[in-house]
Amino acid sequence: MSSAGGARRLLVRDLAQLATPHGIDAPLRGRALGSIDLLEDAYVLCDGETIESVGRMRDLPSLDGDVDELDGRGLCAIPGLVDCHTHACFAGDRVEEFALRAGGATYEELHAAGGGIMATVRATRAAGEAALAGAVRLHRSWMLRAGTTTFESKSGYGLDRETELASLRAIADAGGVPTWLGAHAVPPEFGDPDAYLEFALLEVLPAAAQLAEAADVFLERGAFDVAQSRRYLDACTAAGLAVRIHGDQFTEQGAVGLAIELAARSVDHLEATGPDGVGELARSDVVAVLLPASALFVGRPMPPARALVDAGAAVALATDFNPGSAFCESLPLVCSLAATQLKLSPAEALAACTVNAAHVLGRASRLGRLEPGYAADVVLLDAPDWRYVAYHLGGDVVAEVIVAGTRAELP
Ligand code: NIG
Ligand code: FE
């Protein structure tokens, strides 16, 4: 396959290892989640924005014409990481709240007292579209530094028409995959969730559906219940959006059943999910998106990851990057938490934040694997073994990131 417009070829040669998960038609489950193709003394050849071939150095074909070369000695290649759940469009911070939580206050108490999500809503509404666009670009640069080449981001800190739409535009302009989290919280100018939903579905959804790919709802005590979530997601489905649910973060309120009923792409969090929910998910096509950095950051129990994988559920991993419950943009750190806290193998963790995450975003035919025809998005780890991506806790493991066949400038 040759690239249009004479785009350059890039050969990364003499890699210590190249590791890539399987999984084309459907998210990986069960034993397949942990099966990785591993090549030692390997190369990856990019032709423009697409991978032309991968293989062992001894099988490298002779290359005619102009080829840029990158020395991969001492490095390992894995697919560009895919973060399928972030809240990257926000202004301000919640460092004060973080310090209060360190002193014993809980996330739920701060939320109930008008802090939490609403504190970020106030800052985000006040910021203006240009500042929001700048914030998403800054957060994207942090993610790229940690090896994320594709990110989803939700809106949800505007909760008025102007700021929600500005958020979705800022996310798309920064190259993110936009999700309309129109049902994140009930803003103070509305008396109750139903009145707010009436407004959001009538006044915001028609324009949001033109900008976003999916819709999301926070189904939780103190946020939206099952009936309200169903109403919101049904309207979003009718407007052409895929649907997702923040569910079982603190309490089980029926999120898993609703996600299955509505054929949601995913149900995300699941820290509170019990054995029944695990079994239901395993028998469904809904991807369980696990966010261990969020559980760690707010001091909650970890989600039942091992039980989900062993029961045959499709599992993905993401950061949940946001200023309140997970100020963490690093998928390598999430892989470390997956191994140490969730008891997933490094191979399972890698598949969960590459190919399975790409499925959640509807992009698995192009993203999440190092295979001919896939996007030339590659992370080069400064490590003799690719499993350092999980092993080096908090380490600076990412040496180089290649995005669409071009070496990215890392911040
Ligand atoms: O996924 N749970 C709801 N939303 C976010 C947190 C948002 C915030 O605290 O600002 C989450 O954890
Ligand atoms: Fe979230």
Residues bordering ligand 2, an ion, CB closer than 5 Å = 320
User: Considering only CA atoms, which residue is closest to atom 3 of ligand 1?
Assistant: 218
Q: Which ligand is nearest to the CA of 86?
A: 2
Residue type, 50: T
Contact 179, 244 (CB under 8 A): yes
Is there an atom of ligand 1 within 6 Å of 249 CB? yes
Q: Tell which one of 322, 327, 328, 329 to mutate to probe ligand 1, the residue whose CB is within 8 A of the most ligand atoms.
A: 322
Q: Quote the pLDDT of residue 4.
A: 44
Q: Which domain holds residue 29?
A: 4-79+368-407
Domain end, chosen from 360, 376, 391, is at 360
Question: For residue 396, which phi and psi values (nearest 5 degrees)?
Answer: -90, 70
Residues 104 and 192 in one domain: yes
Q: Which regions of the chain are under pLDDT 50?
A: 1-5
The CATH number assigned to the domain holding 279 equals 3.20.20.140
Residues 254 and 157 in one domain: yes
Residues 176 and 215 in one domain: yes
Report the distance separating Cα 287 and Cα 281, nearest Å: 8
Q: Quote the pLDDT of residue 209.
A: 98
Is there an atom of ligand 1 within 6 Å of 216 CB? no
Is there an atom of ligand 1 within 6 Å of 218 CB? yes
The DSSP string of 268-331 is EE-TT--HHHHHHHHTSS-EEEE-HHHHHHTT-PPP-HHHHHHHT-BEEE----BTTTB----H
**Closest atom of ligand 1 to CA, residue 117:** 10
Residues 137 and 221 in one domain: yes
Is there an atom of ligand 1 within 6 Å of 118 CB? no
Measure 246 CA to ligand 2 centroid, in angstroms.
6
Residues 154 and 26 in one domain: no
Residues 108 and 220 in one domain: yes
Cα 92-93-96 angle, rounded to 5 deg: 130
Q: Quote the pLDDT of residue 115.
A: 86
Is there an atom of ligand 1 within 6 Å of 247 CB? no
Measure 66 CA to ligand 1 centroid, in angstroms.
48
Q: Quote the pLDDT of residue 6.
A: 53
What does the buried/exposed string (b/e) look like for 213-230 if buried means 16 or more CB atoms within 10 Å of the residue's CB? bbbbbbbbeebbebebbb
Contact 171, 89 (CB under 8 A): yes
CA distances (Å), origin 298, targets 25, 50, 324, 327:
35, 40, 9, 10
Residues 27 and 134 in one domain: no
Domains: count for the chain: 2
The CATH number assigned to the domain holding 16 equals 2.30.40.10
Measure 244 CA to ligand 2 centroid, in angstroms.
11
User: Residue 59 has what DSSP assignment?
Assistant: G
Is there an atom of ligand 1 within 6 Å of 107 CB? no
Is there an atom of ligand 1 within 6 Å of 115 CB? no
Give the dihedral of Cα atoms 219, 221, 226, 232; nearest 10 deg: -50
Residues 21 and 100 in one domain: no
Is there an atom of ligand 1 within 6 Å of 111 CB? no
**Closest atom of ligand 1 to CA, residue 85:** 1
Residues 283 and 193 in one domain: yes
Residues 182 and 326 in one domain: yes
Residues 280 and 186 in one domain: yes
Task: Give this prediction's pTM.
Answer: 0.97
Q: Which ligand is nearest to the CA of 115?
A: 1
Q: 272 in the Ramachandran plot: left (φ > 0), alpha (ψ -120 to 50) or beta?
A: alpha
Q: Quote the pLDDT of residue 22.
A: 86
**Closest atom of ligand 1 to CA, residue 326:** 12
Residues 207 and 338 in one domain: yes
**Closest atom of ligand 1 to CA, residue 269:** 1
Report the distance separating Cα 407 and Cα 51, nearest Å: 14
